[in-house]
């Protein structure tokens, strides 16, 4: 069994698919290496590739202004099996964060058009993969919503006093 197949089968995007079902996606995967500190993608760019992290750490960053300059702050981390750059599948296909290698990183890249063609050819598998993608996006939304509510709670405590 190939290493690429195992990585695909163990990933959050292809979770629940059998090895046979995952096999169809092996030829679509493009292995990629990114050295520590390099950027996989940058905020605002068009998103041409969806990635599965094969090994290493990917930091998803947002710019914060500090002492007059923009600094990329890691707001989320992705590790082996995680899906990053899902903006490649979602309109308007632009990155809303930057992705930076927090260590030397191995990735599997998928072209959105290849992936969409494969999903359209096998709608039952496509439905499961898109459901997995929805889980990844929902998780991000839940975390973001919770962080925002906690900051709002702090603002309420500061403005009106805490009980």
CA dihedral (112, 108, 18, 11) positive or negative: negative
Taking the complex as a whole, the smallest distance from the CB of residue 96 to another protein amounts, in Å, to 17
Among 1, 20, 66, 91, binds another protein (CB under 8 A): 66
Stretch 133-152: interaction string toward another protein, x if CB under 8 A: ------x--xx--xx-xx--
Q: Cis before residue 92, ω within 30 degrees of 0?
A: yes
Among 64, 117, 121, 127, binds another protein (CB under 8 A): 64
Q: Is 79 in the site for another protein (CB under 8 A)?
A: no
* Helical segments of 12-122, H only: 19-23, 112-121
Question: Would you say 75 or 118 has its CB closer to another protein?
Answer: 75
């Amino acid at each position: 069994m190939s290493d690429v197949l195992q990585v695909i089968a163990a990933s959050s995007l292809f979770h629940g698919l059998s090895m046979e079902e995952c096999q169809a996606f092996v030829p679509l995967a493009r292995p990629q290496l990114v050295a520590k500190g390099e950027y996989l993608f940058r905020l605002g760019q068009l998103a041409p590739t969806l990635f599965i992290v094969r090994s290493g750490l990917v930091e998803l960053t947002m710019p914060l202004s500090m002492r007059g300059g923009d600094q990329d702050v890691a707001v989320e981390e992705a590790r082996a099996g995680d899906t990053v750059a899902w903006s490649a599948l979602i309109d308007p296909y632009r990155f809303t964060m930057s992705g930076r290698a927090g260590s030397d990183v191995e990735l599997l890249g998928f072209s959105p058009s290849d992936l969409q063609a494969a999903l359209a050819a096998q709608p039952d598998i496509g439905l499961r993969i898109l459901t997995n993608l929805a889980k990844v996006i929902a998780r991000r939304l839940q975390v973001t919503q919770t962080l925002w509510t906690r900051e709002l709670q702090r603002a309420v405590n500061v403005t009106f006093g805490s009980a």
